[in-house]
């Protein structure tokens, strides 16, 4: 958008001059950090002689600190080439402050720009006309690269405004909300709203629960909160890091740019299928199977599988000892195993105990004459005995134990009294003829991992402490330095902060998996129960409560929908309220005058109706068009829209209701909404999700318009014969 008046252009020019000064300073900072890094490296080359003395340690350590600091600083500075300065505050009394993505000081150490997360910047987000907090005018600078292209002002205190203070622009928020969407979520650092800022700056300890309807900014706010915590609590958080968990790789891809844009590169982003190290799963199971795999009942099934018989294990131990042939049959061996694992021991860690108990059981058969110690010494080292133990108590992997459950009889044994026969059938079948693991298998693998444990590490030999390079060495200087600066960086078993998005969909088994990664963490949990696809809300809540323990909880509810036009959200609100009248609904702030459209189309006309809608929408919106379809229709729809691939590049995306959670598009075509609602017992919630993905235009195409009949107000949908 070009500036419309000469006053606006003059204001832009003035801001550009300031921004240029900041970039010049940034360039000088990059130059000096580069020089420090270089100097540090050179010093390191000189210092490394192969013979390390204490003084060398000292200078090597200093060098490492220097280089490390410079490298980090460069990474932060390098990321801040775009829109570095985005805000300006004119305070009463004429003081002016600029707010940006990072703090920048001039050569005399005076602040040029305040980091948006610093306490002094909070007023940028919190001041209102009702409570200006000393701010006369708040200005948002819109930039392209390093060029200021617009300014948007809010006059907060008209009485205190000097005569020459200009107020220009239509409001930064509206400009941001109407902007076309690309494939990635953008940061909202320039337009964070007051209710959102309170959540972002909430104290870290305990659990922060963020709820709110679709499009209320839960995700984007949670990500800004992560950046805020990394800034304000870096020392604490560096001990364990931040884990950000979302529903799918597509979703993680969608949000992955936000934290780097805010200058943070240190969070770990994982989809639910990637939370366990070494496992990458993208495929989801059909809904009924996912419900069984996610259920808390799987704990018992897996516990039995991990502690029960191993398929193909030896059924008898025979050994000549103590002057006679001794044997233990299958029942006796099972009794030994049960005895060893009785008190919750992890199987892979209990081998020594298993050997002890086994030898004890054999010794009882000798019937006197040989002491236990003598018997032990005789039996333990025998090849036959060692070979038996290797087979009978081999180290098991989670994937191995899970694979046994594809055998219906084995599964039925483990699931006796827990799952019904039909459930056993469905579950066993889900593991037959598939490659790799599903997203719903991952928490099961993690559960098995915690049941099996790692085999104990052999005691380290002296050699393992030796070094052939200096990097791995902790010197007395390190310890001295650490002590002197009073380092309180805590060491974490797991992450220091865990952020869970779309938490309403987590199954009990997924909560257990996350709980293991945040035993000592503070948490931010984001969700909207009305969008939940998990059938047993109480069961999931109880698993969540166990994962979080008795940490303090702080809850926030976001009530403004920033994504959808009011016309689109009204339709979605009507759909969900017709089924679930108590669902709290946010308020959409933006009107476009464009009603959603429903196009009736018979089976045969459906492909044509869908492609026509996509073509029309590509013409009227600048950004993306999402085509959301029932699970069974993905393949055919991909064929229909394939021709748009060349023409529209990445602009057209086909997805399902469940996979569209958390995502958004400029325009959406919903194919067969009634079928989406019928896909699962909580299908109306999925339809609610689907109808709230579009920022500007919504068209539905279906053979059935029955889903509209229940609406209070059918005029919300423009009639169309298709």
Ligand X SMILES: Nc1ncnc2c1ncn2[C@@H]1O[C@H](COP(=O)(O)OP(=O)(O)OP(=O)(O)O)[C@@H](O)[C@H]1O
The binding site for ligand X (CB under 6 A) comprises 173, 176-177, 185, 188, 191-193, 196, 212, 214-220, 528, 562-563, 662, 664, 692
3-state secondary structure 543-595: HHHHHHCCCCEEEEEECEEEEEEHHHHHHHHHHHHHHCCCCCCCEEEECCCCC
For the four alpha carbons of 379, 385, 389 and 392, in that order, the dihedral sign comes to: negative
Compute the least distance from the CB of residue 676 to ligand X, in Å. 16
Compute the least distance from the CB of residue 181 to ligand X, in Å. 7
User: Which residues are part of a known binding site?
Assistant: 212-219
CB-nearer residue toward ligand X: 181 or 716: 181
Please list, residue by residue across 452-475, b when 16 or more beta carbons sit within 10 angstroms of its beta carbon and e when fewer do.
Answer: bbeeeeeeeeeeeeeeeebeeeeb
CB-nearer residue toward ligand X: 517 or 563: 563
CB-nearer residue toward ligand X: 228 or 392: 228
| 3-class DSSP assignment, residue 487 | coil
Show the tokens assigned to 295.
């259920």
What gap in Å lies between CA 208 and CA 506, rounded to an integer?
17
Q: How far are the Cα atoms of 271, 425, 597 from residue 275, in angstroms, in the given order?
A: 6, 28, 40
Please list, residue by residue across 594-617, b when 16 or more beta carbons sit within 10 angstroms of its beta carbon and e when fewer do.
Answer: bbbbbbbbeeeebbebbbbbbbbb
Pairing of strands 207-212, 553-558: parallel
CB-nearer residue toward ligand X: 63 or 218: 218
What gap in Å lies between CA 413 and CA 416, rounded to an integer?
5
Compute the least distance from the CB of residue 562 to ligand X, in Å. 4
What gap in Å lies between CA 289 and CA 444, rounded to an integer?
13
Helix (H) / strand (E) containing 27: helix 6-47
User: Which residues are part of a known binding site for ATP?
Assistant: 212-219
CB-nearer residue toward ligand X: 395 or 592: 592
Compute the least distance from the CB of residue 247 to ligand X, in Å. 10
CB-nearer residue toward ligand X: 75 or 176: 176
Compute the least distance from the CB of residue 400 to ligand X, in Å. 38
What gap in Å lies between CA 247 and CA 659, rounded to an integer?
8
CB-nearer residue toward ligand X: 192 or 267: 192
Compute the least distance from the CB of residue 185 to ligand X, in Å. 6
Q: How far are the Cα atoms of 76, 462, 611, 696, 697 from residue 615, in angstroms, in the given order?
A: 42, 70, 6, 15, 13
Compute the least distance from the CB of residue 313 to ligand X, in Å. 48
3-state secondary structure 67-82: HHHHHHHHHHHHHCCC
Residue with tokens 């920048």: 104
Please list, residue by residue across 313-341, b when 16 or more beta carbons sit within 10 angstroms of its beta carbon and e when fewer do.
Answer: eeeebebebbeeebebeeebbeebbeebb
CB-nearer residue toward ligand X: 142 or 563: 563
What 8-state DSSP symbol labels residue 454?
P
Compute the least distance from the CB of residue 467 to ligand X, in Å. 47
Compute the least distance from the CB of residue 5 to ligand X, in Å. 25
Residue with tokens 């105990």: 353
| 3-class DSSP assignment, residue 626 | strand
CB-nearer residue toward ligand X: 219 or 532: 219
When CB distances to ligand X are compared, the closest residue is: 217
Compute the least distance from the CB of residue 143 to ligand X, in Å. 15
CB-nearer residue toward ligand X: 240 or 263: 263
What gap in Å lies between CA 411 and CA 428, rounded to an integer?
7
């Amino acid at each position: 958008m070009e500036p419309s008046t000469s006053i606006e252009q003059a204001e832009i020019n003035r801001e550009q001059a300031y921004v240029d000064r900041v970039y010049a300073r940034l360039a000088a900072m990059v130059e000096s950090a580069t020089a420090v890094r270089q100097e540090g490296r050179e010093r390191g080359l000189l210092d490394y002689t192969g013979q390390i003395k204490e003084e060398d340690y000292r200078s090597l350590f200093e060098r490492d600190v220097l280089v490390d600091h410079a490298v980090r600083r460069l990474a932060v500075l390098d990321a801040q080439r775009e829109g570095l300065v985005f805000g300006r505050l004119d305070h009463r009394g004429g003081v002016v402050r600029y707010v940006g993505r990072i703090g920048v000081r001039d050569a005399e150490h005076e602040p040029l720009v305040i980091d948006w997360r610093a306490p002094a910047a909070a007023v940028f987000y919190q001041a209102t006309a009702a409570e200006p907090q000393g701010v006369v005018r708040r200005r948002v600078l819109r930039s392209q690269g390093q060029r200021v292209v617009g300014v948007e002002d809010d006059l907060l205190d008209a009485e205190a405004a000097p005569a020459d203070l200009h107020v220009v622009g239509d409001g930064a928020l509206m400009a941001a909300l109407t902007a076309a969407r690309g494939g990635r979520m953008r940061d909202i650092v320039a337009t964070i709203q007051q209710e959102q800022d309170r959540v972002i700056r909430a104290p870290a300890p305990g659990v922060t629960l963020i709820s709110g309807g679709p499009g209320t900014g839960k995700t984007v706010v949670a990500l800004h909160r992560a950046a805020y915590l990394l800034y304000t609590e870096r020392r604490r958080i560096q001990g364990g890091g931040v884990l950000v968990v979302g529903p799918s790789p597509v979703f993680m891809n969608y949000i992955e740019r936000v934290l780097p844009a805010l200058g943070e590169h240190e969070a770990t982003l994982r989809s639910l299928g990637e939370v366990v190290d070494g496992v990458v799963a993208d495929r989801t199971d059909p809904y009924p199977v996912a419900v069984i795999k996610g259920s808390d009942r799987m704990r018992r099934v897996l516990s039995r599988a991990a502690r029960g018989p191993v398929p193909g294990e030896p059924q008898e131990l025979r050994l000549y000892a103590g002057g006679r042939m001794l044997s233990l049959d299958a029942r006796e061996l099972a009794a030994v195993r049960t005895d060893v694992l009785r008190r919750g021991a992890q199987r892979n860690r209990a081998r020594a105990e298993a050997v002890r108990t086994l030898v004890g059981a054999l010794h009882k058969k000798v019937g006197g004459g040989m002491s236990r110690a003598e018997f032990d010494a005789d039996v333990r080292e025998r090849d036959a005995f060692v070979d038996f133990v290797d087979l009978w108590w081999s180290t098991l992997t989670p994937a191995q134990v899970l694979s046994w459950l594809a055998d219906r009889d084995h599964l039925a044994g483990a699931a006796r009294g827990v799952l019904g026969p039909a459930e056993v059938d469905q579950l066993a079948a889900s593991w037959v003829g598939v490659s790799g693991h599903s997203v719903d298998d991952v928490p099961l693998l993690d559960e098995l991992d915690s049941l099996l444990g790692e085999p104990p590490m052999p005691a380290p030999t002296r050699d393992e402490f030796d070094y052939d390079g200096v990097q791995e060495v902790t010197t007395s200087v390190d310890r001295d330095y650490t002590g002197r600066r009073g380092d309180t960086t805590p060491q974490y078993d797991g992450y220091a902060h865990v952020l869970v998005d779309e938490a309403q969909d987590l199954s009990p088994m997924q909560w257990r998996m996350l709980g293991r990664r945040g035993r000592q963490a503070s948490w931010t949990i984001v969700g909207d129960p009305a969008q939940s696809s998990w059938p047993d809300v109480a069961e999931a809540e109880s698993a969540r409560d166990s994962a979080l323990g008795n940490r303090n909880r702080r809850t926030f509810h976001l009530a403004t929908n920033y994504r959808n036009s009011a016309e689109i959200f009204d339709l979605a609100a009507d759909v969900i309220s017709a089924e679930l009248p108590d669902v709290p609904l946010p308020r959409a702030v933006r009107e476009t005058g464009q009603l959603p459209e429903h196009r009736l189309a018979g089976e045969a006309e459906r492909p044509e109706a869908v492609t026509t809608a996509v073509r029309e929408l590509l013409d009227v919106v600048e950004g993306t068009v999402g085509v959301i379809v029932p699970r069974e229709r993905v393949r055919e729809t991909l064929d229909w829209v394939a021709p748009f691939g060349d023409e529209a590049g990445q602009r057209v995306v086909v997805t399902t209701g469940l996979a569209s959670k958390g995502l958004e598009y400029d325009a959406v075509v919903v194919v067969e909404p009634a079928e989406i609602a019928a896909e699962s017992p909580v299908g109306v919630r999925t339809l609610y999700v689907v109808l709230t993905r579009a920022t500007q235009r919504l068209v539905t195409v279906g053979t059935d318009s029955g889903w509209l009949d229940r609406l209070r107000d059918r005029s919300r949908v423009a009639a169309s014969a298709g």
